[in-house]
Structure 1
Amino acid sequence: MITIILMALALALLQIWIIPMLINIKNIGYQLSNRDEPMNSGSLNARILRASTNLQESLPSFLALAILSIITEVDNSMLAMTWLFLRVLFFFVYAVGIPYIRSVIWIGSIACLVLMGLALI
């Protein structure tokens, strides 16, 4: 489970910081500024930022459930790995701009969190 937690944190680092920075390298001046004004970004960058925000909303719940699984010695590793796989898939589907499949993937990732929580009861 610890490996899955570390992979989830690596995903967060990639999705929240590294990938948006690399895609938006042409606006390096903005990234080095005080960022007083909103950045003028393209649709790909905007979708990636929305996917990152979505991960930031889901990641704390996942981390709490994963840590509780370790503490209580409940094996939620398959659900945690499925959640991680769905979150990676969600990022790519969101970045490409496929709306309906993206929603189904998101529901699957939320279902994994619910099932992880139920396993702890």
Structure 2
Amino acid sequence: MPTLPNELVLLGWSTILLVVYIMTEGQTATRDRGLGWNAGPRDGKAKPLGVLAGRAQRALRNFQETYPAFIALALALAVSGRTGGLGEAGAWTWFAARIVYLPLYLLGVPYLRSLCWTVSVLGLILMLVRLL
């Protein structure tokens, strides 16, 4: 069985990371709004989210903003045969920054969280440079 490029391995792991973001958002929202709200049809006006659930929701939305670019770049690198080098470094950079980003956002750490987001975007840029 041939080994997969690290960009594709990270694509697989990024799916698990997406689930972590989704579960964090869902669990914190359920804590604030109750199990009945989560299990029900969620019709009508929802009870406002608390601070932690609001942060989890915004962190998930932020993840979802860069995730499509990561998927596209990882697949494009693999299909084009341009894996490794800057592309692999960029994929690792994006992935590591996105892992660190979630707890920083949940804890409300300013500046460092923004730096982490910037590092993740730089990872995407490295992937793009390798592709082009």
TM-score, normalised via structure 2 length: 0.84
Answer with 1 or 2: which has the greater Rg.
2
Is residue 66 of structure 1 aligned with residue 74 of structure 2? yes
RMSD (Å), alpha carbons: 1.3
| Stretch moving more, 71-80 or 82-91 | 71-80
Which runs of no fewer than 5 residues in structure 1 stay unpaired? none
Secondary structure of the structure 2 residue equivalent to 1:67: helix
For 1:38 and 1:113, locate their aligned partners in 2 and report how far apart those are by CA, in whole Å.
36
Deviation sequence 1:44-103 (CA, Å, 0-9, x none):
110011000000111000000000010111122221011111001111101100111111
Is residue 52 of structure 1 aligned with residue 57 of structure 2? no
Residue number in structure 2 paired with 1:23 = 28
| Stretch moving more, 90-99 or 36-45 | 36-45
Given that residues 80 and 112 in structure 1 are in contact (C-alpha distance below 8 angstroms), is that contact kept between their aligned partners in structure 2?
Answer: yes
| Stretch moving more, 85-94 or 38-47 | 38-47
For 1:8 and 1:41, locate their aligned partners in 2 and report how far apart those are by CA, in whole Å.
26
For 2:131 and 2:46, locate their aligned partners in 1 and report how far apart those are by CA, in whole Å.
42
Which runs of no fewer than 5 residues in structure 2 stay unpaired? 1-6
Query: Which of 32, 42, 67 is the matching residue for 2:39?
Result: 32
For 1:39 and 1:87, locate their aligned partners in 2 and report how far apart those are by CA, in whole Å.
29
Given that residues 66 and 80 in structure 1 are in contact (C-alpha distance below 8 angstroms), is that contact kept between their aligned partners in structure 2?
Answer: yes
User: Residue 25 of structure 1: CA displacement?
Assistant: 4.0
TM-score, normalised via structure 1 length: 0.91
User: Residue 111 of structure 1: CA displacement?
Assistant: 1.0
Residue number in structure 2 paired with 1:99 = 110
Residue number in structure 2 paired with 1:14 = 20
| Alignment: residue pair count | 120
Between the aligned residues of both structures, percent identity stands at: 28
Residue number in structure 1 paired with 2:3 = none
